[in-house]
Structure 1
Amino acid sequence: MGTNSDMRAFLAVDVDKTLLNKIGDIQNNLGAAEAPVKFVEPQNLHLTLKFFGDINEEKLNEISNIISQKVENFNPFDLLIEGVGVFPSLRYIRVIWLGTKNIDSFSDIQKELDDEFIKLGFDKERSYIPHLTIGRLKGSTNKEVLVEKIEELSDVQIGKMAVNKLILKKSELTPAGPIYTDLMVFEL
């Protein structure tokens, strides 16, 4: 098996297109702080259910079989997107994200799938909280202004989105940023 056949893969939920303008407004608002934030492109916005890292074709098939079986247990549901937050803390910001509410179904799917993925040799997810990464901080210039804006937006309402499919994606890292390709779609 050549390493060239490996691919970086993850399981995700795409963000509803109806929310992209609002999310763009938030990114612009944060961008006005002129801190060195690299914002996620609209077409790349997603909620990650599981990051698999580099896997081969065989592993991919095992993963997709599990997802195919498990999605039959779940129905589509709505997720609320609201509130801006950061990882790991406001003192040391690396990732800026939007929060989620009404996450019971999302968490149930994530946990049920994760239990199966562990059997394939993947690490268990620790304290999983569904979130939507919208930017990454690359330095500390104007950080105080950025923190102020984040705090102002801590309760911002983005809206409701329907979750009706899970998507297995491939990630190719390029100097211009990651390129995501849908490998398989699983309808709930």
Structure 2
Amino acid sequence: MIPVHTTAVVIIPPEDVWEPIQEIRREHDHNIRRWMPHITLFYPFIPHENFYNIQYDLQQTCKHIKPFSVKLDTVGHFKQRKGNFILWTGCEEQQEMQGLYKSLKLLLQNKTEVKKRPFHPHLTIGRMRDADKFEDLKSNVESSWQTIEFEVNKISLIWRNDPPDDVFRIEYEVPLGSE
């Protein structure tokens, strides 16, 4: 199946850890309305109407993966091709996260197009075009960032409509370690 930009597989932190993330995003991420805080596993993904075709396989894969703790303890950035600078918090050295991604990639590579680039788990907290303002934002966030820790015990399949109803919503959650 050809992937679409209206669906994704993500990890959504529990709402009780959202506030420090959303505090930054409210001011520096114009996509805050569309996306909930998340770590992207696969985007774009299969069309929403095909989610049911993959639910069982995802359950079978995820039931063998134990829930794990994630620490969003680093702040980094990258520049998109479109010219936006992206500020993120992440967990680069997280073996369990990499293991989850590899297991899902192995499952999905025969069902849809999967990007071949390395997986760098991160949660976007800001984006802007102005390089000087971005450097100021990055410095401020780096100096004040407090580690956020939470348990990953499920993955979420999310989808959205086209504008104006283009806010992502959870369609299906797959628990980890359910065997």
Q: TM-score, normalised by structure 2?
A: 0.79
For 1:162 and 1:112, the matched residues in 2 are separated by: 18
* Identity value in percent: 19
Q: Which amino acid aligns with 1:45?
A: P
> Structure 1 residues 52, 38: CA separation in 2 closer, same or farther (over 3 Å shift)?
closer
For 2:25 and 2:5, the matched residues in 1 are separated by: 30
2:141 to 150, 153, 162: 153
Q: Which amino acid aligns with 1:114?
A: K
| 8 A contact 1:115–1:124 mirrored in 2 | no
| 8 A contact 2:85–2:134 mirrored in 1 | no
| 8 A contact 1:169–1:182 mirrored in 2 | yes
The unaligned stretches of length 5 or more in structure 1 are 1-5
> Structure 1 residues 93, 9: CA separation in 2 closer, same or farther (over 3 Å shift)?
closer
What is the aligned length?
170
> Structure 1 residues 154, 83: CA separation in 2 closer, same or farther (over 3 Å shift)?
farther
The structure with the largest strand share of the pair is 1
Q: Find the counterpart in structure 2 of residue 14 from structure 1.
A: 12
Q: Find the counterpart in structure 1 of residue 172 from structure 2.
A: 184
Q: Find the counterpart in structure 2 of residue 51 from structure 1.
A: 43
Q: How far apart are 1:174 and its partner, in Å?
A: 2.2
For 1:42 and 1:69, the matched residues in 2 are separated by: 30
> Structure 1 residues 135, 145: CA separation in 2 closer, same or farther (over 3 Å shift)?
closer
Q: How far apart are 1:70 and its partner, in Å?
A: 0.4
Q: Which has the larger radius of gyration?
A: 1
Q: How far apart are 1:26 and its partner, in Å?
A: 3.5
Q: How far apart are 1:41 and its partner, in Å?
A: 4.4
Indicate yes or no: 2:96 matched with 1:105.
yes
Q: Which amino acid aligns with 1:149?
A: L
The farther-off stretch of 48-57 and 8-17 is 48-57
The unaligned stretches of length 5 or more in structure 2 are none
Residue 166 of structure 1 aligns to a residue whose secondary structure is strand
| 8 A contact 1:80–1:102 mirrored in 2 | no
Q: TM-score, normalised by structure 1?
A: 0.76
Query: What is the Cα-based RMSD across aligned positions, in Å?
Result: 2.8
